[in-house]
């Protein structure tokens, strides 16, 4: 990995970072990833407009605790003044000091408003946002960006130059254009070229990583300051322990046993439940906290059990899981199937999980 005395101090403790992911990087999952060795974690995408309006569902995303440090808050919006107002509130009300500006979200309705990846079309506005935020927080100010909206409109070099001039600490490049979203090849050579052009800005690679070995290989091959792991960490937070071991030339640790996997899922669920119970004022409650926590972990559950014997049964019944008992009946079914396939004791049952024909999703 290339280093330079001119680079700004990194806000992470090792070069393997958890990417911000809407609906996934809530506090309990961030804590788990840090415990497994993530060098830093980022929150879900948080709207600066929602913060300024005082939206309870927005502020619900900003619950944190010291065990997840270093942690950055990933903010999206389009107006520098609104960013300034939101960050002022953030500094006053929360322990967050690291602000990560989202210029990479490719969701069309966000891009149309000039936010997320829409900011790549206006490097000067992005730089103005960085300047405004830097005037308020003493912590690092970083940006996560796409190279451009389309392959024929790549503006990442202008963006990097503008951010370096504005005093940003780091730029994470998701090496696909916004129109690719999360499909197709990621151009890590482009990320490496940006890294060579920058004098002070730390450059973080992101996009398409699927394993710890690939994360370490790309970190070294492209001489980057860090790499950011997103979907590959879902259901497999121990990827950070694997990456750190490989980076140090050590054998990666064994994956969790069936019993350990169940304990991990239970820890994750209990963290979500604690979050819902501890902050009732942050969310309108039409459902009990137990049901909200079950609904929030269902997406994670698909990743935890992906590829395991019995996982297709759980996938078919996912929207019927509405209570903790139903959730862990499904978990124990998969854990038991995995244990039997490996000839180990998984602590799970061998019965197919039941589902109620009357169970309904909260979206119904």
The neighbour count for residue 139, using CB atoms within 10 Å, is 19
Question: Exactly one of 105, 198, 295, 322 is catalytic; which is it?
Answer: 105
Tally of structural domains, the chain? 2
Q: pLDDT tens across 264-289, in order?
A: 999 999 999 999 898 765 555 578 89
One domain, residues 205 and 337: no
One domain, residues 185 and 214: yes
Give the span between the Cα atoms of 313 and 321, in whole angstroms: 12
Provide the pLDDT for residue 309.
85
One domain, residues 149 and 288: no
In a domain, 354, yes or no: no
Identify which of 272, 338, 279 has the alpha carbon closest to the alpha carbon of residue 305: 338
One domain, residues 265 and 302: yes
One domain, residues 221 and 155: yes
In a domain, 30, yes or no: yes
One domain, residues 121 and 224: yes
In a domain, 302, yes or no: yes
Give the span between the Cα atoms of 79 and 83, in whole angstroms: 6
197 is catalytic: no
In a domain, 176, yes or no: yes
Show the 3-state SS of the chain: CCCCCCCCCCCCCCCEEECCCCCCCCHHHHHHHHHCCCCEEEEEEEEHHHHHHCCHHHHHHHCCCHHHCCEEEEEECCCHHHHHHHHHHHHHHCCCCEEEEEECCCCHHHHHCCCHHHHHHCHHHHHHHHHHHHCCCCCCEEEEECCECCHHHECHHHHHHHHHHHCCCEEEEECCCHHHCCCCCCCHHHHHHHHHHCCCCEEEEECCCCCHHHHHHHHHHCCCCEEEECHHHCCCCCHHHHHHHHHCCCCCCCCCCHHHHHHHHHHHHHHHHHHHHHCHHHCCCCCCHHHHHHHHHHHHHHHHCCCCCCHHHHHHCHHHCCCHHHHHHHHHHHHHHHHHHHCCCCCCCCCCCCCCCCCCCCCC
Provide the pLDDT for residue 346.
43
One domain, residues 303 and 237: no
In a domain, 349, yes or no: no
pLDDT tops 70 at residue 70: yes
What's the half-sphere exposure (Cβ side, CA atoms, 13 Å) at 81? Answer: 0
Q: pLDDT tens across 143-197, in order?
A: 999 999 999 999 999 999 999 999 999 999 999 999 899 888 899 999 999 999 9
Task: Say if residues 332 and 317 touch (Cβ distance below 8 Å).
Answer: no
Task: Say if residues 154 and 177 touch (Cβ distance below 8 Å).
Answer: yes
One domain, residues 234 and 284: no
The pLDDT-based confidence of 336 (bands split at 50, 70, 90) is confident
Least confident of 94-98, 135-139, 297-301, 307-311: 307-311
Domain encompassing residue 51? 16-247
Provide the pLDDT for residue 350.
44
Q: pLDDT tens across 290-303, in order?
A: 999 999 999 999 99
pLDDT tops 90 at residue 341: no
One domain, residues 174 and 79: yes
Q: pLDDT tens across 109-145, in order?
A: 999 999 999 999 999 999 999 999 999 999 999 999 9
One domain, residues 47 and 114: yes
Domain boundary (216, 247, 278) is at: 247
One domain, residues 41 and 109: yes
In a domain, 142, yes or no: yes
């Amino acid at each position: 990995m290339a280093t330079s005395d001119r680079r700004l101090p990194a806000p992470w403790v090792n070069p393997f970072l958890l990417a911000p992911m809407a609906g996934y990087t809530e506090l309990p999952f961030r804590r788990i990833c840090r415990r497994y060795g993530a060098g830093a974690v980022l929150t879900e995408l948080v709207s600066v407009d929602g913060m300024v309006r005082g939206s309870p569902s927005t502020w619900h995303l900003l619950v944190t605790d010291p065990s997840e440090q270093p942690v950055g808050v990933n903010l999206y919006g389009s107006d520098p003044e609104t960013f300034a107002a939101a960050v002022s509130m953030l500094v006053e009300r929360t322990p967050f000091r690291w602000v990560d500006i989202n210029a990479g979200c490719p969701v069309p309705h966000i891009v149309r408003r000039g936010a997320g990846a829409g900011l790549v079309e206006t490097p000067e506005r992005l730089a103005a946002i960085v300047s405004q935020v830097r005037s308020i927080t003493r912590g690092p100010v970083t940006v996560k960006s796409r190279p451009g909206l389309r392959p024929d409109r790549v503006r990442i070099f202008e963006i990097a130059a503008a951010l370096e001039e504005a005093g940003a600490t780091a730029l994470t490049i998701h090496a696909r254009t916004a129109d690719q979203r999360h499909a197709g090849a990621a151009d890590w050579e482009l990320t490496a070229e940006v890294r060579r052009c920058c004098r002070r800005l730390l450059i973080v690679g992101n996009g398409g990583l699927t394993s710890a070995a690939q994360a370490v290989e790309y970190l070294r091959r492209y001489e980057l300051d860090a790499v950011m792991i997103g979907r590959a960490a879902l259901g497999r937070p121990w990827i950070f322990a694997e990456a750190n071991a490989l980076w140090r030339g050590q054998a990666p640790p064994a994956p969790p046993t069936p019993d350990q996997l169940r304990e991990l899922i239970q820890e994750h669920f209990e963290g979500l439940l604690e979050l819902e119970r501890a902050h009732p004022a942050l969310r309108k409650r039409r459902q009990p906290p137990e049901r909200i926590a079950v609904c929030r972990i269902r997406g994670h559950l698909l990743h935890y059990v992906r590829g395991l014997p019995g996982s297709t049964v759980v996938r078919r019944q996912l929207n019927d899981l509405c209570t903790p008992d139903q959730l862990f009946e499904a978990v124990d079914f998969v854990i038991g199937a995995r244990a039997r396939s490996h000839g180990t004791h998984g602590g799970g049952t061998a019965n197919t999980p039941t589902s109620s024909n009357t169970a309904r999703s909260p979206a119904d």
